[in-house]
Amino acid sequence: MNVFIEKEEVEDKSINPDLIIRQSVKPGTLLKPGDEITLYIPDVILKYPDMMAEGWTEEAVKAFAEDYGLKLSIEYVETLEHEPDTVIHQDRPPGTNIVKGASLRVKIALAPEEEIPEFPEEGEEISEDESE
């Protein structure tokens, strides 16, 4: 009897990769010498998460890139609109397949270094010292 192993794509990453998920002959079939049987094991398809919606940090992205063999590139953006050290953009859309060795570019929120000047209230004048 000849036994072949083939991988079949599955999206459930919790499945045991050594599990036989199906076979080419029905259970209970009598096989003769020389017959062939193919056993199918899972080829887990991993997908990119929504790092922005899930509040990923720089540390989490670095660990993710290392775990999946991705080439990570980070750009820091000063902003008050997002929590510092969180992902505010990812170039790989959530739900797309992760491919080992691919590049992943993210933007991380960074608190502005300089204080943002406060604007005077309506009718309030700015003194010479404050306008510099």
Residue 59 reports pLDDT greater than 70 = yes
Token duo for residue 116: 């943002």
Q: Is the pLDDT of residue 109 over 80?
A: yes
Q: What domains does the chain contain, in order, with CATH numbers? A: 2-44 (no CATH), 58-110 (3.30.10.20)
Amino acid at 52: M
Q: Which helix (H) or strand (E) holds 9?
A: strand 2-10
Secondary structure (H, E, C), 52-100: CCCCCEHHHHHHHHHHCCCEEEEEEEECCCCCCCEEEEECCCCCCECCC
Per-residue pLDDT band for 44 (boundaries 50, 70, 90) equals confident
Of residues 12 and 78, the one with the higher pLDDT is 78
Distance, in Å, from the CA atom of 103 to the CA atom of 85, rounded to the nearest integer, reads 20
Q: What is the pLDDT of residue 22?
A: 92
pLDDT tens string 67-99: 999 999 999 999 999 999 999 999 999 999 898
